Structure 1
């Protein structure tokens, strides 16, 4: 008897590993280095702007009064906490969400993914706006510290403009991929047979298992149990995406922190 080939564990950020697991996709190793991929994403106008930023020697404002590094750390913590709270308090994860998802039942239709897709997109917009403002504030602080940090701020501004559109286009695909997870869970529950791709583990940081554990059949037979599994997966994916989105800001904060204490 032939055995099904085992999927290789996907390496990389938690966000990527979660997407690979939830979509049951085989993600091949990249054939190009990061620098090669970036060279394809940055057009010549942004390349010129990046070269100018790297060669520049911006002078900090001698009359500026930069905020202490601890103040910017608190600012970053506030933004992360606010966005984490926004995810936790979102209507998609409220008890009433089950009723919203099943609003079509009166017409005999299955609960739809549209409600959850709309909520995911709304939270993505909140993250994009809040983190964009945070990143701008961090650049302002860097620009007032030294020539080296001002240059870093200029480079970050160019990179945000160059990669922002592509980043948003890639991230907006996440709820679409999540939709396939929704359908698999729903169909598995309807068929009253566990889907072999369902993983009920609660740790989003664990490596992708080669053979994901099967859920308990009785749990899937419980009313809306599959929907609770999906909502947990959606929440974990949003939190992992938040970590990815915050990485540029955390890099700027690290540069600020190492330049001046306190």
Structure 2
């Protein structure tokens, strides 16, 4: 009996939305950008990761002393605060009359809004991730190993992550120029939705490591 073919892994919302932004600027196949994400690890970073995976387990730590509920609540408060920042400060408030301005000038407030959002997310998630690792490091062998592995994963992937996320405002700027040239109010509203949806998807993507660590802690 032939084995059933495996279904392709679902494309994360953040990757799908970003691909749509890129596809609107160039006729790339829908999966081209997703496939490019598979090239994130060069051989030097792969070696660092391999050493951690092959290392002997550390000795058992003591019982996790952090209060799990308080740490879980801190993660949820941070996520909710950042979501409210996206929803409560809509992009349309930053631009009074896009059709009366040059595209670059009209997009400037949008860029500032997105960059400020990214900075807030980076600071918040960085602090939470460190706190969760500290908590896991006080647990058993599996928890200690996971904390060590996550620290290495953050180190080897952060350069690529930083390059990707910091490129988003520029990509959105090019997307805005397309809509701005069409000179249509409905296109501006559509662009607003794109920005907001991409922010929320980026927020979820940045919280994935935190969600995983939190699940292990619980």
TM-score by length of 1: 0.67
Q: Cα offset for 1:18?
A: 1.1
- 1:241 paired with 2:197, answer no
Task: Find the counterpart in structure 1 of residue 177 from structure 2.
Answer: 183
Which residue of structure 2 aligns with residue 47 of structure 1? 47
**Higher helix proportion:** 2
Aligned to 1:72: 71
Q: State the Cα RMSD in Å.
A: 2.8
Alpha-carbon distance, 1:123 to partner? 0.7
Q: Is the 8 A contact 2:48 2:152 kept in 1?
A: no
- Shift of the 169–31 alpha-carbon distance from structure 1 to 2, 3 Å rule, reads closer
In the comparison of the two structures, how many residue pairs are matched?
203
Aligned partners of 1:251 and 1:144: how far apart in 2?
17
Unaligned residue ranges in structure 1 (runs of 5+): 1-10, 190-219, 258-262
Matched, 1:93 2:91: yes
Q: 2:167 aligns with which of 149, 169, 173?
A: 173
Tell whether the 8 Å contact from 1:56 to 1:151 is kept in structure 2 after alignment: no
Deviation at residue 98 of structure 1 after TM alignment:
2.3
Q: How does 1:16-31 map to 2 (within 5 A)?
A: 16-23=15-22, 24=24, 25=26, 26=28, 27-29=30-32
Q: What CA deviation, in whole Å up to 9, does each residue of 1:57-82 have, x standing for no partner?
A: 334554862323x3332222111101
Structure 1 residue 54: Cα displacement: 4.8
Q: 2:133 aligns with which of 136, 139, 157?
A: 139
- Is 1:54–1:155's contact at 8 Å kept on the other side of the alignment? no
CA 22–33 in structure 1, closer or farther in 2 if over 3 Å, else same: closer
- Give the deviation of 1:119 after TM superposition: 1.4
Distance in structure 1 (CA, Å) of the matches to 2:188 and 2:155: 38
Q: Which position in structure 1 is the counterpart of 2:6?
A: none
Shift of 1:144: 0.9
SS in 2 for 1:113: helix
Q: Matches of 1:32 and 1:166 in 2, distance apart? A: 12
**8 Å CA contact retained: 2:64, 2:138:** yes
Identify if the C-alpha distance between structure 1 residues 67 and 54 changes in structure 2 by more than 3 Å, giving closer, same or farther.
Answer: farther
Check 1:230–1:152 CA distance in 2 against 1; reply closer, same or farther (3 A cut): same
* CA offsets 1:169-222 (integer angstroms, 9 cap, x no match): 011111111122211211112xxxxxxxxxxxxxxxxxxxxxxxxxxxxxx4xx
